[in-house]
């Protein structure tokens, strides 16, 4: 995973973090925010946060649901309408496995048929729920670059884990 701390990426990661703060704190999930951005035009295409949409939705999934609804198409058709240089910003790297049985965010990204070329993440997924996240390798193997945006890790983890039981030392 590459690492970058550029003002543009920090701006979008800050917006994603603000979205994550809208997610209700629960001990069973991370509070995550996400943005789909057309990097050619510097335009936000969709935003989402954990549990924003009906059901047990993740932030990336909420982005896809909202964009599909806006364009009156099925989620599976999003890849055909996304601009060529669409990127995804997410405060926590996309999940590779869902304990709820829902489709993992990595699989959702891969189903877009390479419409997303780069995923910018604020932190690696903590191993609390599903262990080591192998999703990054799946994305990279599919030609999708995964970039760590440095500088906000502590703040992102505090927001992500709000509502979790603190381990005693």
pLDDT tens for residues 142-152? 999 999 999 99
The pLDDT assigned to 168 comes to 44
The pLDDT assigned to 169 comes to 43
Q: According to the 3-state scheme, what is the secondary structure of the chain?
A: CEEECCHHHHHHHHHHHHHHCCCCCCCCCCCCEEEEEECCCCEEEEEEECCCCCCCCCHHHHHHHHHHHHCCCCHHHHHHHCCCCEEEEEEECCCCCCCCCCCCHHHHHHCCCCCEEEEEEEECCCCCCCCCCCHHHHHHHCCCEEEEECCCHHHHHHHHCCCCCCCCC
Active-site residue list: 60
The pLDDT assigned to 42 comes to 93
What domains can be seen in the chain, in order of their start residue?
Answer: 2-160 (3.40.140.10)
The pLDDT assigned to 7 comes to 74
In the predicted model, residues of the chain with pLDDT beneath 70 are 1-6, 99-101, 126-133, 166-169
């Amino acid at each position: 995973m590459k690492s970058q701390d550029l003002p543009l990426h920090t701006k979008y990661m800050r917006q994603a973090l603000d979205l994550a703060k809208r997610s209700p704190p629960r001990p069973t999930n991370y509070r995550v925010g996400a943005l789909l951005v057309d990097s050619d035009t510097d335009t936000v295409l969709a935003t989402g946060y954990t549990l924003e949409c009906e059901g047990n939705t993740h932030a990336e999934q909420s982005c896809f649901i909202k964009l599909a609804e806006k364009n009156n198409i099925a989620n599976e058709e999003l890849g055909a309408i996304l601009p060529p240089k669409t990127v995804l910003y997410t405060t926590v790297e996309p999940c590779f496995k869902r304990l709820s049985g829902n489709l993992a965010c990595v699989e959702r990204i891969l189903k877009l048929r390479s419409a997303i070329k780069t995923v910018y993440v604020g932190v690696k997924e903590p191993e609390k729920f599903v262990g080591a996240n192998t999703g990054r390798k799946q994305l990279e193997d599919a030609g999708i670059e995964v970039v760590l945006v440095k500088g906000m890790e502590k703040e992102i983890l505090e927001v992500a884990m709000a509502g979790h039981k603190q381990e005693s030392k």
